[in-house]
Amino acid sequence: MNTDKTLDDLFDKIKEIIGDSVSLTGIDYEGPDIVIYTSSPEIFAENENIIRNLARDLKKRVVIRPDRNALTDPESAIEKIKSIVPDDAEVKNFYFDTEKGEVTIEAYKPGLVIGKRAATLREISRIVGWSPKVVRVPPIESQIIKNTRDFLKSVSNDRSDFLKRVGHSIHREITSKEKWVRITFLGGCREVGRCAYLLSTPETKILIECGINVNSENNTYPFLNLPEITPLNDLDGVVITHAHLDHSGLVPLLYKYGYDGPIYLTYPTRDLMTLLQLDYIDVSAREGKEIPYNSAMVREALKHTIPINYGSVTDIAPDMHLTLHNAGHILGSASVHFHIGTGLCNVVFTGDMKYEKTLLFDPATVNFPRVEQLIIESTYGGSKDLQPSRRWAEKRLQGLVNEVTAKNGKVLIPTFAVGRSQEVMIVLENAIRNKNIEKLPIYLDGMIWEATAIHTAYPEYLNSNLRNMIFHDDLNPFLSDCFIRVDSASKRDEAMESGPGIILATSGMLNGGPILEYLRHLGQNDKNMLIFVGYQAEGTLGKRIQNGWKEIPLSSDGRTDVIKLNLNIQTVDGFSGHSDRQQLMEYIKNLNQNPKQIFVTHGEESKCIDFANSIYKRYKIEAIAPKNLETVRLL
């Protein structure tokens, strides 16, 4: 059986399901989707059950595309769409893709364009023929999102060819009669950083994560030169759980060395990953470090992304289905569930995860239909790794801010641009709104503003409380006027020289970034305070200061000065995007099904081993702390 015959058989089956009342003119693959072409798109628009029944019977994701002769000309289509969509939706722009018969509608309030149970979308399709796709205009302008959307539009023809090629590969015939599943651990084992795991069957190879350890000079990259993974073009796909560089930082390098396949991730991860990779290139160049790829490779990776939503079961190979679930770690972070074969094996990679509702996200999902093998992170998996409650952390931060404000001092908070910054922003905005602290200017320096803009574009990925505030109460905390963007030297001077205030700046571990400039100018004043809210890795400047260093070397313009630190130094635990030991144990306990095996990764060696031993003692589940380069047969 060849792929074309498979399509012919599918086409016949579709016609059999929907009958002769609908005119079908063609069928094709588009990545994991089955695309059906029709000269009567209005019939599909009027009866939403047709597509639902097709997806159920075919067990495939189905997309309806109109024939060109069914399309209203774009100018008339815009006028008709405007007459259908409520003015309150605030439509900003339209983009027509004739190849796909698709109109992208950019709106500030996409929910009003979609309508209740997608009724407005169906009406648009019925009236103009075009298949409508809605995207949100970020309330804060995001240069990354704008550039990403513009770039993907510019390469739409290339992407169309790419998606067809991927679709044919996904739906190819299974040739091997053997049945086995293996994991090869390529990085991120008994260490934090450079995560990479290879999931293999006789038919398929999937790379999960492709990270980089920016804090290590010796163990920077995962082992991508092993026989198991080379040549790279034999990979069927790459899955990225979230955007942090230790999980996604080396993805562009794959395209430099021959990989030409898809990257599966969520929409926010796509945008944040691009942001962090470009920043990594920029920072590495400024610091004179080796740069493993250039911006062209970042764009090449972006061109190959296939974003999927939480809960959407997606074919990624003939014998493998992928589903992404909320991991509660950062925006768009996912735990990934692989269903292999026809019930042969189910493997879950947690990625970095938080099993607790935070001010930003709902807790990580535990409701997997089946899980035989679990690969779980252990950043805080040590026996003494117990974090205080979120409520305590909020109160503690508020108290420290009030203490500094009483002295007319400034608060410096070094923080990661993605995740921790937004969590702290929500805490501070909420405290100001509820008058728990004075209304102070909160300066955002580094990538924080851009990362926050991306958060505003995807409120559906935030927790239920924030979604209700944004969608129903028309209150978006990220848009508060207490936040001030530092985008010039004069703004930075204002942040340092004005009265009491709070400064959030990158980097979170003080290994570069604008936070060092603030420390240089404000570190000698005992009225000021430096507050750590995130993990400080061994060997970083942040860890040294946390351990008591009072004099630090800071370089600028080729000269190194020793700065004496007189400001108060505090640490507020409890804002981590990782689960602590107790939450990790509760996560395992509350899974729908006890796994047969658990592999503990992404933690210091002692913590991985201790956590694995504790899992076995408490739950009597086989638990292993694998080493890098090990391969384990699951079946």
- Give the pLDDT confidence of 184-198 residue by residue, as tens digits: 999 999 999 899 999
Three-state DSSP class for residue 141: coil
pLDDT band at 461 (very low <50, low <70, confident <90, very high): very high
Q: What is the pLDDT of residue 439?
A: 94
pLDDT mean over 395-406: 96
Segments of the chain assigned to CATH 3.60.15.10: 158-384+578-633
Q: What is the pLDDT of residue 288?
A: 83
Would the annotation count 171 as a binding residue?
no
Region 167-173: mean pLDDT is 93
Q: Is 475 helix (H, G, I), strand (E, B) or coil?
A: coil
What is the average pLDDT across 324-333? Answer: 97
Q: Is 325 annotated for ligand binding?
A: no
* CATH fold of 3-69: GMP Synthetase; Chain A, domain 3 (3.30.300)
Residue 536 CA to residue 20 CA, distance in Å, equals 65
Identify the CATH number of the domain defined by range 400-446+486-571.
3.40.50.10890
Predicted local distance difference test score (pLDDT) of residue 45 = 81
- Kindly report the pTM of this predicted structure: 0.94
User: 555 preceded by cis ω (within 30°)?
Assistant: no
Q: What is the 3-state secondary structure (H, E, C) of 294-357?
A: CHHHHHHHHHCEEECCCCCCEEEECCEEEEEEECCCCCCCEEEEEEECCCCEEEEECCCCCCCC
Confidence of residue 444 (pLDDT cuts 50, 70, 90): very high
pLDDT of residue 370: 95
Element housing 417 (H / E): none
Q: Are strands 131-136 and 102-107 parallel, antiparallel or unpaired?
A: parallel
pLDDT at 74: 95
Give the closest residue to 397 by CA, choosing from 430, 357, 441, 419: 430
- The answer to whether 329 is annotated as binding is yes
- What was the pLDDT predicted at 1? 37
Which run of H or of E encompasses 612? helix 605-619
pLDDT surpasses 70 at 256? yes
| Alpha-carbon separation of residue 591 from 140, 386, 387, 601, 610 (angstroms) | 38, 21, 22, 18, 21
pLDDT of residue 214: 85
Give me the residue label for tokens 């024939």: 67
pLDDT for the residue numbered 2: 44
Distance of CA 512 to the CA centre of its chain: 23
Say whether 337 counts as a known binding-site residue: no
Mean residue pLDDT of the chain comes to: 93
Amino acid in the structure at residue 75: E
pLDDT at position 202, please?
96
Pick the CATH number of 71-137 from 3.30.300.20, 3.40.50.300, 3.90.76.10, 2.40.50.140: 3.30.300.20
The tens digit of pLDDT for each residue in 561-579 reads 888 999 999 999 999 899 9
Matching CATH number, 158-384+578-633, of 3.60.15.10, 3.30.9.10, 3.40.50.300, 3.20.20.210: 3.60.15.10
The answer, yes or no, to whether residue 261 has pLDDT greater than 80, is yes
Pairwise CA distance, residues 206 & 262, whole Å: 10
Distance CA 521, CA 210 (A): 38
Of these ranges, 55-64, 325-334, 412-421, 543-552, the one predicted with the greatest mean pLDDT is: 325-334
One-letter amino acid at 254 equals L
**Block residue for tokens 């080379």:** 230
- Residue 424 is predicted with a pLDDT of 95
Provide the percentage of residues in the chain whose pLDDT is more than 90.
77
Sequence ranges of the chain with CATH classification 3.40.50.10890: 400-446+486-571
Q: If you average pLDDT over residues 139-162, what whole number do you get?
A: 94
Using pLDDT thresholds of 50, 70 and 90, give the confidence band for residue 64.
confident
Query: What is the band of 513 on the pLDDT scale with cuts at 50, 70, 90?
Result: confident
pLDDT digits (tens, 9 = 90+) for 355-372: 999 999 999 999 999 999
**pLDDT digit string (tens) for 67-115?**
888 899 999 999 999 999 999 999 999 999 988 899 999 999 999 999 9
Q: What is the pLDDT of residues 32-58, one digit of tens each?
A: 999 999 888 888 888 878 888 888 888
Q: What mean pLDDT do residues 394-403 have?
A: 96
pLDDT of residue 4: 67
Tell me whether residue 352 is annotated as binding. Answer: yes
User: 434 and 467 in contact (C-beta within 8 Å)?
Assistant: no
Q: Which of 182-186, 279-283, 315-319, 607-611 has the lowest mean pLDDT?
A: 279-283
* 246 labeled part of a ligand binding site: yes
